Amino acid sequence: MTYIAIIITFVLIENFILTQFLGLCPFIGVSRNIDSAVGMGFAVIFVMSMASLTTWAVYNLILLPLGIAYLQTITFILVIATLVQFVEMIIQKTSPPLYKALGIYLPLITTNCAVMGIALIAVRKEFNAFESFVAGFAAGVGFLLAILVMASLREKLDSEWVPKPFKGIPIAFVTAGLMALAFMAFDKALLKNLIG
104 binds other proteins (CB under 8 A): no
Which of residues 75 and 101 has its CB atom nearest to other proteins in the complex?
A: 75
Q: Least distance to other proteins from the beta carbon of 140, Å?
A: 16
Which of residues 95 and 158 has its CB atom nearest to other proteins in the complex?
A: 158
Nearest C-alpha neighbor of 76 from the set 18, 25, 119, 20: 119
> Half-sphere exposure (CA, 13 Å, Cβ side) for 1?
20
Q: Least distance to other proteins from the beta carbon of 124, Å?
A: 7
Q: Least distance to other proteins from the beta carbon of 95, Å?
A: 26
Site pattern 56..95 for other proteins (x: CB under 8 A): --------------xxxxx--xx--x--------------
Amino acid letter, residue 54: T
178 binds other proteins (CB under 8 A): yes
Q: Which residues contact 165 (CB under 8 A, 6 or more apart)?
A: none
Cβ count near 9 (within 10 Å): 20
CA triple 191-42-142, angle to 5 deg: 20
Site pattern 146..175 for other proteins (x: CB under 8 A): -----------------xxxxx-xxxxxx-
d(CA 60, CA 69): 9
Nearest C-alpha neighbor of 48 from the set 151, 118, 99: 118
The footprint of other proteins (CB under 8 A) covers 18-25, 28, 70-74, 77-78, 81, 111-113, 115-117, 120-121, 124, 163-167, 169-174, 176-178, 180-181, 183-184
